[in-house]
Amino acid sequence: MRNHYGWRAVVVVVVLALACRWGVAQIGPRYVIELPGGGVSAAGQSQGQVRLAGKGLALIRFQGLRILTVDADAESYSAEAARGWPAADLVLVTPPGIGRYAGLAPLQALRADLPVIVAETADGAAPPAHPQLYPMQTWNTLELRKQATRLRVTAMAGAPGRPGVGGFMLDLGNGHASYRVYVSCAALEEGEAAGLAQRLPGADLALLPARQAPELLPLKRASGAIGKPAALTAAGYAFTAIRR
């Protein structure tokens, strides 16, 4: 009888060990990218900017890191237009609307070493149209580091009742402070601004798709007052990283 219970104990320990090992394997980012880059001067280390870079294009800069967000429904999303996109270290393509997407062909016009994030399709099939393609499902994360600058991208769930990736949270930091930009995959409906702020209490700024140009919505956590989205311009929107 003692041996019987002894073997049962061994089996339980082994199963628990395997479960813990599997659980640890699930913790952490799905992707990790290390980029080369020059040093960043001490001045303005916590300063960043979001600016309009073309129809459906927004360029986010923080220290020496440049992130280009692309609305797949915009006219700028074509193989011809992609060759004229501004220089960036990472491209984030938000999902297209139904019936307005012809595949990932435009990405073939980009340089082969440029990382590109896309939302994974419902069937999990993302064609290898680009050597550095990173398809992400809800709650997947990607961590990127360029010198002292760090970026964590998290694929977020949408509002209740909306399946698939609803947006991407960009957490930009330098070890001392950080700034969180939420890149939404869908425009807000009337009256949804306050709900977005409640659903994303850690976000500092929301970047929203719109017909004419992407829109910005500062999410003021201190006062709790949420205004209306404003069109992003070429002059840009400056931000300062926050000590958490």
Q: What is the pTM of this model?
A: 0.84
144-190 confidence digits (pLDDT tens): 999 999 999 999 998 777 778 999 999 999 888 999 999 999 888 77
Per-residue tokens: 136: 């992400």
Q: What is the distance in angstroms between the CA of the first residue and the CA of the last residue of the chain?
A: 57
Place of tokens 């800069």: 61
Q: How many CB atoms lie within 10 A of CB 129?
A: 15
81-91 confidence digits (pLDDT tens): 998 999 999 99
Q: In this predicted structure, what is the pLDDT of residue 190?
A: 74
Q: In this predicted structure, what is the pLDDT of residue 20?
A: 39
45-79 confidence digits (pLDDT tens): 789 999 999 999 999 999 999 999 999 888 888 88
In one-letter notation, the amino acid at residue 196 is: L
Q: Evaluate whether 88 touches 66 at the Cβ level (below 8 Å).
A: yes
The dihedral through the CA atoms of 136, 139, 144, 150 has a sign that is positive
Extents of the domains making up the chain = 1-30, 43-240
Q: Is pLDDT above 70 for 233? A: yes
- Return d(Cα 53, Cα 30) in angstroms, integer: 29
Q: In this predicted structure, what is the pLDDT of residue 208?
A: 94
Place 221 in a pLDDT band, splitting at 50, 70 and 90. low
Taken as a whole, the chain contains a residue count of: 244
Q: Is 191 exposed, middle or buried (0-12, 13-18, 19+ CB in 10 A)?
A: exposed
Per-residue tokens: 120: 């994974």
Per the prediction, the chain carries an average pLDDT of 82
Section 123-132 average pLDDT = 69
Per-residue tokens: 87: 């220089």
Could you confirm whether domain 43-240 is CATH 3.60.15?
A: yes
Q: Is pLDDT above 50 for 134? A: yes
93-115 confidence digits (pLDDT tens): 998 876 666 678 888 889 999 99
